[in-house]
Amino acid sequence: MTLIAAAGLPWRWPRAHSGGLAGASAGSSFEKTTVYTVYAFATPNSVKVPIVLEELGLAYDLRGVNVRKGEQKAESFAALNVNGKVPVLIDSDGSDGAMTLTESAAILVYLAEKHGQLLPAEGMARARVFEQLFFHASALSPAFGQSGFFRNHAEPMPVAIDRFHGEAKRVTRLLDGVLAQRPYVAGDAYSIADIAHFGWFWRRAFAGIDFAETPNLARWYETVAQRPAVQRAIARVEALVPAA
């Protein structure tokens, strides 16, 4: 059961619905050629979804949700994600009709499975990708997010900074060790696990993380950052940020 279904709220986006934060219209002419709509901003969790779609060579409608202005907390956005966060994926051609999906790791798995790429089909190779994805969602992503929050907070809280920045540094060193053994985080092949981790290392400065003492991680980051699909995705999410 999904988080949204568990909360008793609709997790499917009705075909006829034309609301949404940015005026999403399931019946727009754009949808005739584009089955995916992504609600996102230039953030570490958001960028993962456009990266996967670019890697898969799929068209998508990208809609900005300005988290700096709190648009993710707007009442209208709760229909897309009751958790009030980006990214959100709408697949107008899901197996059950139009559907809405939240949680970046779940979205990556959904797209990889639907299109049969970036996730091994079975066995230990598949398990290794999930191992990294769960590590990402339960350890790396929260540590980086909280480290950034407390480091950038107006009122200094040393205990919180020590705890979360320390944890962000620890998981960074841990991954450097993993990448000393293999080219990609889950093995020999580039996968959605690399894409998940890349999102946060792209925004590592927010969390107070650098690559000074993690050469294997730096090598991996440069390899992923040079992929044309990754560069296209970054350009698209950066274009969502209004000029200052």
Which residues are at the interface with ligand GSH (CB under 6 A)? Answer: 43-46, 67, 72, 84-87, 103-105
Least Cβ distance, residue 200 to ligand GSH (angstroms): 9
Cβ burial of 68 (10 Å; 0-12, 13-18, 19+) is exposed
Is 37 or 46 the residue whose CB approaches ligand GSH more closely? Answer: 46
Is 128 or 203 the residue whose CB approaches ligand GSH more closely? Answer: 203
The span from the CA of 38 to the CA of 41, in Å, is: 10
Least Cβ distance, residue 116 to ligand GSH (angstroms): 23
Strand 88-94 and strand 36-40: the pairing is antiparallel
| DSSP, res 76 | G
Is 31 or 86 the residue whose CB approaches ligand GSH more closely? Answer: 86
Cis ω for the linkage preceding 215 (within 30 of 0):
no
Is 103 or 194 the residue whose CB approaches ligand GSH more closely? Answer: 103
Phi-psi region of 174 (alpha: psi -120 to 50; beta: other; left: phi over 0): alpha
Least Cβ distance, residue 115 to ligand GSH (angstroms): 20
Least Cβ distance, residue 37 to ligand GSH (angstroms): 16
Q: Cβ distance 108 to 193 under 8 Å?
A: no
